[in-house]
Structure 1
Amino acid sequence: MEKITIKQLNKAEFEERIPQLMDLFKNAFKRDISKEFLKWRYLDNPYHDLLVCVAMNENDEIIANYSASPCELVYNNNYYKTAISMTTMTHTDYAGRGLFTKLANTLYSHMEEKNYLNIYGFPNLNSHYGFIKKLQWEDIYEIPTMKLDLSLIHLHEENHHVTIQEDNNFKLNYTNLTNTNSKIKLNKTANYLSWRYQANPLHDYHNHVISNEKDHVDAYCIVKYYGENNLDIVEFHANSQENATSLLHSILLQAKKAGIQTVNTWVSIHSPYRSIFERNGFLNSTPVTYFGGRLFNQNELKNGIFTNFREWDIQMGDSDVY
């Protein structure tokens, strides 16, 4: 039987083998992935660890891959290394050999050695079973997409007492909103936001903010237009109900004027701003997204906290899809 080697790539090896990863992606998914995306996601990430595990055949070719993208969780003012589970792919000639499980277990052992708290992600229907049954993941929630049909609502021009501007380069100060509640969430520094949205090679994002006289951000909403008449709200954060209401109204009014028909977002039923979205006509709809993960270290997130969706502040932009 052909010898297959499991290998953890370093950054130099990853960059050298980007063409092989592009070929493997094309074989597995019948579509292309760009060199620019791979470099952005794995080499330019502000959290510098490279979490890429591959299987190699005897010809030194990559035949399977499982990767994660590092980031940071914040909970009760404590910070933890985490990562979002990314693409799993196996060449069609090597399917059915259990490579996905071997790669994942190797990567997870590496992450535990580097003191990662957990891995999280949003498995699709095809991969969900494997993560739960083979990789000790736990389901946290099934997240519905909230949708608004803008043609069904009437929006009035309003004179708000705040000024809403764009900060697409993330030059303002976001520390007021980094840890404004006790929820489990990603630590979204200005540096992280700039990498995630401004530097993203696939999509254009617009960041609408309310800031005070000291250039501290009191609310921000990051949106992405797609297709001819759709808008995703991928991030929505505010330090008060008043600012949240003003910012959302401004976003929806601007979208309606631009001819947008449908606005999509994720807003947890436990979010303090859920009622604001509901009052504006947002309803639970499809797609419904699996959200889960695996906890490596049993610290303060033990005893069911990690798997309790009430404890999380998850945004659409926390997924790699949007």
Structure 2
Amino acid sequence: MMMLKNTLISSILLLSLTGCGGGGSSANDEQNSTPDVVSAVTYSGIFLDSAVEGLAYSTPSQTGKTDADGTFLFQTDENITFAIGDIQLPAVKAELLLTPLNIFNTDEVNDIEVVNLLRLLQSLDIDGDATNNIQIPDDAHELASGLSVDFSSADFEQQVSNLIASSEGVYQALISADEAIYYFQQTLSALGNSDNSNCAQSHEKVGYSGYFETFHHNVAGKATIIDDCTIEISQFSYDGGGPDVYFFAAKDHNYKSASAFPVGNRLNGQVFDNANFTIKLPINKSLDDLTGLSVWCIDFSADFGHMEFTP
């Protein structure tokens, strides 16, 4: 995730300074130019859930598909429309950075239209791993020919079920809303936090810690609350044997509850032996939302080992 964060921030800083056709002009150029004619300048923007590749777009001057970095082209004061086949998203003003929040004109990550768009994009991803960016397959556009969907509808999942099941991606059905929101929050956190030092140390739980109790897969180690949004994992061991495994946070070890949530990146296939690292809370969560952590397997609702934060 650190690599993704650095790439995103570097790309946006670069975009804020450059256009794809702009350039400096000398005094001679200005003297010889025709005042009534203004050359159009083409800019490049980025569409992010994670970076989305293969999303069709059109403006009055540009058409194409986003590249591996989520890049699209536009000119000043243009509106842009994104689409997957005939699934057309609402037109918005083209900017250097656009996300599903912009598409539906909201700041609310849990907005149903935003969530359903996140679910669709991530479910169509060819390899099913949003942490390495999202690639929309070409056949998704063909399969969505003649398809119109309502992102606010309660039966949205049924509207796109055939599309997901028939596309080249690894998923056969829409991923859950919680999983889609989680990955998008990692992107937002990467954009909004350049390091781990942006959080205050005002919460009463700062300094609380505890040791993992071992249940399966040799889970062991310690977790310590460093500041209001950062948890240090130390002396951590895990044999990497479980599928779809995360650190999960919850109150009173109720990791099956709707209020439980993942913290940090997926642990799939990674082996840890006395490792030390930090994880950050999602942007809409606080230390009030947890009393402990579990190394939790989503597929089987299995607790591989958990700990309780105590003074």
Task: Please give the TM-score of this superposition, normalised by the length of structure 1.
Answer: 0.27
Structure that is richer in helix per residue: 1
Structure with larger RCO (C-alpha < 8 A, sep 6+):
1
Q: Which has the larger radius of gyration?
A: 2
